[in-house]
A and B are shown apart, each in its own frame.
Chain A
Amino acid sequence: MDILTYLQEAGALYGPSGHERETADWLAVRFRPLCDEVVVDPLMNVLATRKPTAPTAKGGRAPKILLCAHMDEIALIVTEILRDGSLRMGNIGGVDPRILPAATVTVHCRPAGGEPATLTGVVGAKAPHLLTEEERKQNYKREDLFIDLGLPAEKVKALVNVGDPVTLVGPAVGLLGGRAAGKTMDDRACIGVMLEAAQRLAAMRHAAEITFACTTQEEVGCRGAKVAAHTVNPDLAIILDVSHAPIPASRPDTTVPLDAPAATYGPYIQHQLFSRLRDTAAKHGVTLNMEHAERSTGTDTDAVQIAREGVPCVLIDLPLKYMHTTVELLDTNALRECGRLVAHFAAEIDEGWDDALWS
């Protein structure tokens, strides 16, 4: 798989939380040749399953593994159409208002009786020379910003409705040293990890049944993963999400190096499974850094761990810089290594994997 091409295509898909159908359809097509069964559930989660390709060690039931990475993206939503035709906006997920002034955006509208359409907009704000001395010292708040569509008010009102989603624009670009930057690396880069792993697994023998879940609505509270985990009902789960790589302003113990995958430890992570993951990484020569989460991990792990009667989880992190901006920056080699680790880890899960889980 050419990773940069994948990141460019995946990053361009339309998929704000709760509006993932287009992204789900595209991903279902990508997973179909690599899996035995692909379904899209009521919340638009894509559940792609590989049946076991090897018997279990003692001929017993095959363990069921769930892998999760989320497909939804943070976005904005139209909350009001002003008299002058500009739009007030709200958040879908955690958009930092600091990235918005002068940003290009896409408004996804569906005029009454018409087909879906897109409009390009620019985010505007009160001009600096009109601000008071005090105001200049502060960031713009989202409620002070507006989207300019460059259209007369009547036309805007005919095309746009309150509730129309607005996505950010930030096509992926390759940088030096195998690095890449763009929007929605969080978390479609990790779906790339799953595709990479699925490709490797197609050439390996594995005793477990493996379901790749591309989940929805993570950015508004891990809502897709909650129902996906209920439906799949796995024995264990591997969650893939992005984490923070260091920048000059980083505080201690809040980052992991950019050039390799990391694994999270903490109460939401099953500690024996975590040790097993580190052993797998060591065995196959994958550099695996560590990251802590003293409570909520802020990822799908939070929902998957407590689905049904409980699911032992590990969380693998793909580090990136500038999260929740349109220039999320990552290392494609780390992405590839992450895929290799996931494939080996899943392939080596066999009957008896949980023998020492609770000691």
Chain B
Amino acid sequence: MELKTLCETQGLPGREEKVRAMVREACEQALGKDAVSLDGLGSVIAVRRGSDPTRPRVLLAAHMDEVGLMIVSATEEGLLRFRPLGGVDARVLVSKRVRVGYDQADKPSLPGVIGAMAIHQQTAEDRKAVLPVEQLYIDIGARDKAEAERVAPAGTPVTFDAPCVPFGDGLVLAKALDDRVGVYNLLRLLDAPYAGDLVFAFTCQEEGGCRGAGTAARRAQPEIALILECTTANDLGDMPEALQVCRVGQGVCVSFMDNTSIGNAELYRAMLALGRDRGIPCQVKTFVAGGNDAGEIQRAGVGCRTLALSVPCRNIHSAAGVCSLSDIRAQEDLVRAWLAGR
């Protein structure tokens, strides 16, 4: 499946149905209908039985959802009030285009814009203060409250309106790279050579609290789990090296620790050594921040050894994420090589 298709598909936390349908079909085609099930949060779990029971049961996981917004009410003027789903900084919203609702065959989603007071009219105070989300609105051109509520009732999902396009030198610019990149690679790895049981989990609701990973892992019951993710790259703007976290284009990021889990020490060292031996570009995530599904997966049930392998992404959680195609490839190559060597 094309990365472009995956990134342009809409899929907010709790509303992953469109991504789920695509992923489910791809898994069923590759592994057969019986191999694929859904857990109680709607995560897709695909099991590929191995021939060698002495090999550890391995889980590969990536999350289907992306950050976005949700409509909560309409004003008398027909403007839509919203709340963020997942960690969306209010500062990335002003003056952006969004899609209100999901595209359906018979009914496309509605375009909308997030406006704010013109700079001419702002006081010095206005300029200093960050506009809180509660004071932002989506304008879909509705004339009044009744019209707005009819076309975009409370609960309507809103995604960034941004196509997935090539960018700069070997990079890609898109919304939802976090974590459609992982989903993309997971689908490519469905045929990866490995003699033991291999489970693929496409999880729900990672954004806004890593809700879906634990439930999926309790179904998958792995001994080792690799989490295919995106992580913040803070590598531009004359940032001190110690604060850069990781650099786009320097390879897949191996994480010894973040705020939700400590990567298994042996796996961490083995993965870096493997990258070195095979010439697969790897880098160490050099800042302890953020978190991902690894935390929930590590401690689901009796627990398992985990490691997060992340593709560096600039402007993560915005309409304009930037990743390197070579880093995306390195994520797949590293997992493939590791599985082949187990």
- Min CB gap A228→B, angstroms: 16
Complex formed: what's the CA distance from A252 to B134 in Å? 8
- Give residues of chain A (240-289) contacting chain B, Cβ–Cβ below 8 Å: 251-253, 265-271, 274
Contact assessment for B14 and A267 in the assembled complex, using a CB-CB cutoff below 8 Å:
yes
Interface range, B side: 20 to 34
Q: Which residues of A contact B185 (CB under 8 A)?
A: none
Considering the complex, give the chain B residue whose CB is closest to the CB of A274. Answer: B155
Question: Interface code A96-107, partner B: CB below 8 Å = 1, 0 otherwise?
Answer: 000000000000
Q: Is B275's CB within 8 Å of the partner chain A? A: no
Asked whether B166 is an interface residue with its Cβ less than 8 Å from the other chain, the reply is no
Stretch in A31-39, A185-193, A200-208, A301-309 with 4+ CB within 8 Å of B:
A301-309
Bound state CA distance, A253 and B20, in angstroms? Answer: 31
B154: chain A residues within 8 A (beta carbon) = 265, 290, 292
Residues from chain A with Cβ under 8 Å of B41 in the complex? 305-306, 310, 312
| Closest chain A residue, CB of each to CB of B24 | A358
Q: Which residue of A lies closest to B219 (CB)?
A: A309
**Interface presence of A311 (CB below 8 A):** yes
Give which listed residue, A269, A290, A308, A357, contacts B218 with CB less than 8 A.
A308
Q: Judge whether B215 and A306 touch: CB under 8 Å.
A: yes
Question: Which residue from chain B places its CB closest to the CB of A359 in the assembled complex?
Answer: B17
Contact of A271 among B15, B38, B39, B85 (CB under 8 A): B15
Tell whether, in the assembled complex, residue B70 and residue A308 are in contact, meaning their CB atoms are under 8 Å apart: no
Residue B130 at the A interface, CB < 8 A?
no
Q: Tally inter-chain residue pairs, CB-CB below 8 A.
A: 88
Contact across chains for A310 and B40 when beta carbons are under 8 A apart: yes
Check A266/B38 contact, CB under 8 A, given A271-B155, A296-B209, A306-B211. no
B85 to chain A, nearest CB (A): 6
Q: Once the chains are docked, how many angstroms separate the CA of A270 from the CA of B196? A: 34
CA distance A295 to B154 in the complex (A): 15
Tell which of A265, A267, A309, A312 touches B205, judged by Cβ atoms closer than 8 Å: A267
Interface presence of B306 (CB below 8 A): no
Q: Which residues in B have their C-beta under 8 angstroms from that of A134?
A: none
B73 within 8 A of A: yes
Q: How far is it, in angstroms, between the C-alpha of A268 and the C-alpha of B13 when the chains are bound? A: 8
Contact pattern, A 333-359, Cβ under 8 Å of B = 1, otherwise 0: 000000000000000000000000111
With a CB–CB cut-off of 8 A, which chain B residues contact A266?
14, 70, 85, 155
User: Is there an interface contact between A295 and B39, defined as CB atoms closer than 8 Å?
Assistant: no
The residue on A at minimum CB distance from B88 is A294
Which A-chain residue is minimally distant from B45 (CB atoms)?
A309
For B17, the chain A residues whose CB sits under 8 A away are: 358-359
CB-nearest residue of chain B relative to A237? B40
Query: Is residue B7 within 8 Å, beta carbon to beta carbon, of the partner chain?
Result: no
A251 contacts which chain B residues (CB < 8 A)?
134
A70 to B: closest C-beta gap in Å:
20
Decide: B208 and A267 in contact? CB cutoff 8 A.
yes
- The answer to the question of B84 belonging to the interface, with a C-beta cut-off of 8 Å to chain A, is yes
Are B208 and A295 interface neighbours, CB within 8 A?
yes
Q: Is the CB of A295 within 8 A of B85?
A: yes
Q: Which of B14, B20, B84 contacts A268 (CB 8 A)?
A: B14
| Residue B214 is within 8 A (CB to CB) of chain A in the complex | yes
Q: Once bound together, how far apart are the Cα atoms of A192 and B208, in whole Å?
A: 32
Q: Is the CB of A311 within 8 A of B40?
A: yes
Which residue, of B72, B83, B209, has the highest number of chain A Cβ atoms within 10 A? B72
- Find chain A residues with CB under 8 A from B310 CB: none
A359 with B14: CB separation less than 8 A: no
Check: B212 CB closer than 8 A to any chain A CB.
yes
Taking CB atoms, residues of chain A closer than 8 Å to B15 are: 267, 271
**Contact status B40-A265, CB under 8 Å:** no
* A interface, over-half SS: loop
A-chain residues with CB within 8 Å of residue B205 when the two chains form the complex = 267-268
Residues in B with CB closer than 8 Å to A309 are 39-40, 215-216, 218-219
A56 to B211, CA, bound (A): 31
> Known: A267-B85, A271-B155. Contact between A359 and B21, CB under 8 A?
yes
* Residue numbers in A under 8 Å from B39 (CB-CB): 309-310
Could you tell me which residues of chain B, from 2 to 36, have a CB within 8 Å of some CB in chain A?
A: 12-15, 17, 20-21
Minimum CB distance partner of A295 in chain B: B208
Contact (Cβ within 8 A) B81 A294: no
CA distance A267 to B15 in the complex (A): 7
A267 x B40 contact (CB < 8 A): no
The answer for the CA separation of A168 and B86 in the assembled complex, in Å, is: 37
B43 is an interface residue with CB less than 8 A from chain A: yes
CB pair B155–A308 under 8 Å, yes or no, is no
Cα distance A307–B211 when bound, in Å?
A: 10
CB closest chain-B residue, reference A236:
B40
B102 to chain A, nearest CB (A): 11
Rounded to whole angstroms, the CA-CA distance of A309 and B217 in the bound complex is 8
Residues of chain A contacted by B14 (CB below 8 angstroms) = 266-271
- Could you tell me the distance between the alpha carbons of A267 and B64 in the complex, rounded to whole angstroms? 13
**Complex Cα–Cα for A106 and B73 (A):** 43
Q: Mark A307-339, 1 if CB is under 8 A from B, else 0.
A: 111111000000000000000000000000000
Contact B155 A265 (CB under 8 A): yes
Contact mask B214-250 → A, CB, 8 Å, 1/0?
1110110000000000000000000000000000000
- Give bound CA distance, A311 to B21, whole Å: 20
CB pair A267 B13 closer than 8 Å: yes
User: How many Å from the CB of A287 to the closest CB on chain B?
Assistant: 15
What's the minimum C-beta distance from A359 to chain B, rounded to whole angstroms? 6
Most chain B CB neighbours (cut-off 10 Å) among A268, A307, A357? A268
Residue interface mask B77-119, A partner, CB < 8 A = 1: 0000101111000000000000000000000000000000000
Any A CB within 8 A of the CB of B263? no
Question: Bound complex: CA of A312 vs CA of B42, how far in Å?
Answer: 9
Contact with A along B189-212 (1 / 0, CB 8 A): 000000000000000010011011
| A residues in contact (CB < 8 Å) with B | 251-253, 265-271, 274, 290, 292, 294-296, 305-312, 357-359
**A-B contacts besides A252-B81, A294-B72, 8 pairs, CB < 8 Å:** A251-B134, A267-B70, A267-B85, A292-B70, A292-B154, A294-B85, A306-B211, A309-B40
For the complex of A and B, list the 4 residue pairs with the smallest distance between their C-beta atoms, beginning with the closest: A310-B40, A267-B14, A310-B215, A294-B83
21 cross-chain CB contacts under 8 A: A252-B134, A253-B72, A266-B155, A267-B13, A267-B15, A267-B85, A268-B14, A268-B205, A269-B14, A290-B155, A292-B70, A294-B83, A295-B208, A306-B214, A306-B215, A308-B215, A308-B218, A309-B39, A309-B40, A310-B41, A311-B40
